Amino acid sequence: MKTLALLCALACAAPLFGDGPGVMSSQRAKSDFALTADPNSKNWKKAPSVIAENSPLGKPVPNHRTEIRSRWTNNNLYFLFICPYENLHLKPNPVLDKDTWGLWEWDVAEVFIGANLDNINLYQEFEVSPKGEWIDLDIDRAKMNAQGGAKWDSGFENKTRIDEGNKIWYVEMRIPIGKIDKRKPVAGNEFRLNLYRCQDKNPGRKYIAWQPTGNPSFHTPKAFGRLRLVK
């Protein structure tokens, strides 16, 4: 009985992480909310999260343990990245009013997500830098049609914040669900998902993946995990 009680206590005290290997839970919010990039805000403090701390090949990336949380509403899907870093590698003269091609050559947080559970080659890519630069791409991996996909506009928004004293940068993304999924948003819906970061410059550039891809390419949809909408 003492063992059972201890296990129950530990379970109750544990943080809300994803509900299984390769599965991330996105918790429903009552309504849409302003972007703050603040993990301690009421909308994010108790949101479920997953951890990305390994390279695409599954090797540990020290000092870059990244926490990612998610919420959803009838209209939008939200992600919050908490990104420890050693060094920042930022693009000079950032442009914030249009997408930035080649943003992946600099520090970024990335969401790869697809609602088509049958054709895993179809998915969308969202990237944001610590300065708030962004790019969204509609991908057909079979054709690797990223250039054509760059003409796609999801209307997603972001908010970023850099805490230089603690060497952590934050990004919150708001993605219109209707732009990535034809289904009505309901608890139980699932998406194919992977989450990434690129950090620092060469030599020593870091690549972090939530689900290891088994090769250097982020564009490995067979390795994606799942995102599940929950109440």
Long-range CB pairs of 55-60, under 8 A, 24+ apart, other chains included: 55/206, 55/207, 55/208, 55/209, 55/212, 56/196, 56/207, 56/209, 56/212, 56/213, 56/214, 56/215, 56/216, 56/217, 56/218, 56/220, 57/212, 57/213, 57/214, 57/215, 57/216, 58/212, 58/214
Q: What is the mean pLDDT of the chain?
A: 90
- pLDDT for 133-143, tens place per residue? 999 999 999 88
Q: Which one has a higher pLDDT value, 90 or 18?
A: 90
The domain in which residue 196 lies consists of: 2-230
- Res 10: pLDDT: 28
Confidence of residue 7 (pLDDT cuts 50, 70, 90): very low
Confidence of residue 20 (pLDDT cuts 50, 70, 90): very low
- Res 68: pLDDT: 98
Cα angle vertex 67, ends 12, 221, to 5°? 110
- Res 13: pLDDT: 31
- pLDDT for 21-49, tens place per residue? 699 999 999 999 999 999 999 999 999 99
Q: What is the tally of structural domains in the chain?
A: 1
**CATH label of the domain that carries residue 32:** 2.60.40.1190
- pLDDT for 159-199, tens place per residue? 999 999 999 999 999 999 999 999 999 999 999 999 999 99
Q: What's the CA gap between 195 and 211, in Å, rounded?
A: 7
What six digits make up the tokens of 139?
């991908």
Residues 187 and 231: beta-carbon distance below 8 Å: yes
